[in-house]
Structure 1
Amino acid sequence: MIIAVAGPYSAPDADRRAQNLLDMNIAAARVYEMGHIPFIGVNMALPVVAHAATDDVYEAIMDISMAVIDQCHALLLIGESPGALRERDHILAKGLPVYRSLEEIPPAR
């Protein structure tokens, strides 16, 4: 499966944002080790947004993240935030599974 990893990214300071991103990447590494393909929307969005002329960085990140999420078969939600919950709701609306722990993810076939 292609499994999106979602959790909080936004934070009041750069150190916390870096830690949030690290947490998502560590979870994605575990998903990969389980035989699945992980996606993290914010990982795809940040380099683009850094070079884009936009007045609303948050919405630009979410536009890209939601497009990535739309390609996934499931979502691993490692923490809640407004953006992560938007991603969760999108996956649920498609009738796809949302996992809250690595243990819930079935083995790859």
Structure 2
Amino acid sequence: MVALKPILQAWLEAAEAQARKNRIARETTLDICVLPSLDKKRKRTSIAAPEKRSLEAYFSVQPRPSGEKIAAIAEKLDLKKNVVRVWFCNQRQKQKRMKYSAVNGPGNGQ
């Protein structure tokens, strides 16, 4: 064991030096770049009643609009395209959930 001590000591010092070097490099990199994960969470979008009625009317005609149609609806209602897209996705999920609960609802012996 005594014979290994100088070898292990040299290895430990080299490993610690490398760890310090990596930590300094990481800290410098973090100072230079802006990480998107540090952004604040987006506020929840509230859709007013008139816009909601319009979206429901569009949904009854076409529950799966194309990207171009979603962009046109968003522009017409003065909403963000992503808000309209997510609204349609949520409505489809809601419809699916309602359909499932009607078929497998309470009272069907399950």
Classify the TM-score, shorter chain: under 0.3
Bigger relative contact order, structure 1 or 2, given CA contacts below 8 A and separation 6+?
A: 1
Bigger proportion of residues as helix:
2
TM-score, normalised on structure 1? 0.23
Bigger proportion of residues as strand:
1
TM-score, normalised on structure 2? 0.23
Rg (Cα) greater in structure: 2
